[in-house]
Chain A
Amino acid sequence: QQQVKQSPQSLIVQKGGIPIINCAYENTAFDYFPWYQQFPGKGPALLIAIRPDVSEKKEGRFTISFNKSAKQFSLHIMDSQPGDSATYFCAANSKDSNYQLIWGAGTKLIIKP
């Protein structure tokens, strides 16, 4: 019940396309859902996050869509650029998990020029 399932494992999109990465969870106590972006040779960095009281959050070209009833959330990247090529991780947490983040397995995204 503590798992966060992320798909796809890898994704190749042409420049300008809209890659979509999906995550699903079971624990209804989760109340914070961040996305982290990791470039090769670097540690992950917080990209965007959402709480379950909103259905969508946008920051620049990055959008999180959240479906509380389906227990799913997804990351969309508008007008994708080669510089967006990275590994993306979704995560979730709640005070029940002592605020420890539960991580998805990651999606390796490649944006082709």
Chain B
Amino acid sequence: NAGVTQTPKFRVLKTGQSMTLLCAQDMNHEYMYWYRQDPGMGLRLIHYSVGEGTTAKGEVPDGYNVSRLKKQNFLLGLESAAPSQTSVYFCASSYSGQPFYGYTFGSGTRLTVV
């Protein structure tokens, strides 16, 4: 099925541990995004990419790094996890930067940092 696949779906980390979240899309979309979703705060953009080899900071980039070595993959890294990074993380992709094409979201990764 075409779409956006996120792995893993759930993860529990200890404070200070590192991890990488993987996002893969098979729609040949140029743009990819990482969001975090917290109760009552909607979706906040962490980082995004406008094409292979490019990345840019979003609204809440601190504590995260990203890479887009292949067009279909967008990785989100946490180098030293903190409890404040407990959240649900969503990856999205779009055909172009203009949102009227619509964003396709993955099903999310629920991360708990203890």
A residues near B, CB below 8 A?
A: 6, 9, 32, 34, 36, 41-46, 49, 89, 91, 93, 98-101, 103-106
Task: Give CA–CA (A43, B48) in the complex, Å.
Answer: 17
| With A89-B43, A103-B42, A106-B42 as contacts: A32 and B107 at CB distance below 8 Å | no
B99, A93: Cβ atoms closer than 8 Å = yes
A residues in contact with B92, CB < 8 Å = 43
CA gap between A4 and B13 in the complex, in Å: 33
Contact of A99 among B44, B90, B99, B102 (CB under 8 A): B99
A-B contact sample (12 more), CB < 8 A, given A43-B108, A44-B105 = A41-B107, A42-B105, A42-B108, A43-B4, A46-B103, A89-B42, A91-B99, A100-B45, A101-B43, A104-B42, A105-B41, A106-B42
Which chain A residue shows the least CB distance to B6? A43
Q: Is A101 a contact of B48 with CB atoms below 8 Å?
A: no
Question: In the complex, which residue of chain B has the Cβ closest to the Cβ of A89?
Answer: B42
Residues of A within 8 A of B45 (CB): 100-101
B97 adjacent to A43 (CB under 8 Å) = no
In whole angstroms, what is the CA distance A31 to B61 when docked?
26
